[in-house]
Structure 1
Amino acid sequence: MGHLRLVRVSALIILLPFMLSGCVAVTAVSAIPGAVFEVLGNQFVGLEKSFPSSMKRTLAAIQSSLRDMKLDIDVLEIQEDGGYGIGFGNQRLDGTMTVRRQTPQLTTVYIKVRSSSREESVETAITELIEVKLKKLPRYTRFSRKKYNNLRAKTSVDSKRVGWFRPGASLEVSKIGSQGWLMIKLPSGKTAYLKGAIIDKQEKNKRKSILSRAEK
């Protein structure tokens, strides 16, 4: 028995340095600007990367990158901490991003994608394309809201604007009692309201095409 106990203790001592070095490695990588990391488990899910760019210019790069991939920013949420939440996707892919300003010239983007293909490959492709765009875009390029309509905190045009949505996009929305209003779940998990009508009536489709209506 004494011999067995000694073997177990020795094994634990041998394993500890490897366990600790793994923890240190994750911490070190996450602290480096521009580092990509993906950790499975309860702490991190998805992919995060920091870019040496302002938040406004990074948003423009994200918009351009998604369009190159035949996607777009469908929902842009104004978040309480000053960052933004992004919703994008189609019938085969659901994606969200969180955009945070670290410094005036350092922005962190966290991407999470659910799709029929390997999520990591989609997330990696997006971050790599954003990096390429940031090297090419003019310095003062900004996200274009030209074709976007308001998202409201309540079913009233006088309520607080909490973001924007892209008319014509396929969104996960539901009808509510108030005439002409639809409810949508934001990237943060909160709910918002938009003026519009569902064009796609097929129940099997989770995402519905939206026809926007003017706020009155």
Structure 2
Amino acid sequence: MRAGEDPCCLVDFWMQNTLEEGPEIMDLEVGGHLFDFLFAAQDASTSSLLWAVALLDSHPEVLRRVRAEVSALWSPEYGEPISTEKLREMKYTEAVVREVLRYRPPATMGFPDPERFEPDRFLEERQEDRLYKRHFLAFGAGPHQCVGQRYAVNHLVIFVALFVSLLDFRRHRTDGCDEIAYVPTIVPKDDCTVLLSKRCEEKPSSSLGRRRDFEQRRALAKGR
């Protein structure tokens, strides 16, 4: 870029801007950008996590299938986090996440039987997210769709996998609890209050800590 070549990609344009003396950025503008990142990373994810728990509670067969898939690939007792390879193999769990995103807006129109919660529509046999690509608007569409969508989906898949592995849960249901409240993203009217109990005593963080301690002691022993 310093040689005067024309930029050929987005990163080049960003680097070019750093070489030029730009206008002074006001604190209000900086605050606005930070608020955008905070809102995008927190509020939308919170909404999706609430609906994921609510829908798993009301669809026990879906919950059973998620637990079966996750337990076949990973357990807290392994003493290691969910790897990227294992995450890719959690096809049904990801289908559940995508169905949560489709089932609760931005838009549910354009899919067959849109008011039915059915994760199978995103599996290999049906691939409705590809057949009806323009209608899956959880992250927008076209060249300006959300650049963080893969991160967001992975985040939700990991949450669901850990949540169903570590905890049993039962939703405290009240009249109208599944009605939509706007805050401004959509959430269950009752904020999805659940009763929790442990499924296992092992937690990934504690087992990882013990494994690191063991490896450190073994390394020290070898060095003697």
**Quick one: higher RCO (CA 8 Å, sep 6+), 1 or 2?**
2
Q: TM-score, normalised by structure 2?
A: 0.26
The answer to which structure has the higher strand fraction is 1
Q: TM-score, normalised by structure 1?
A: 0.27
The answer to which structure has the higher helix fraction is 2
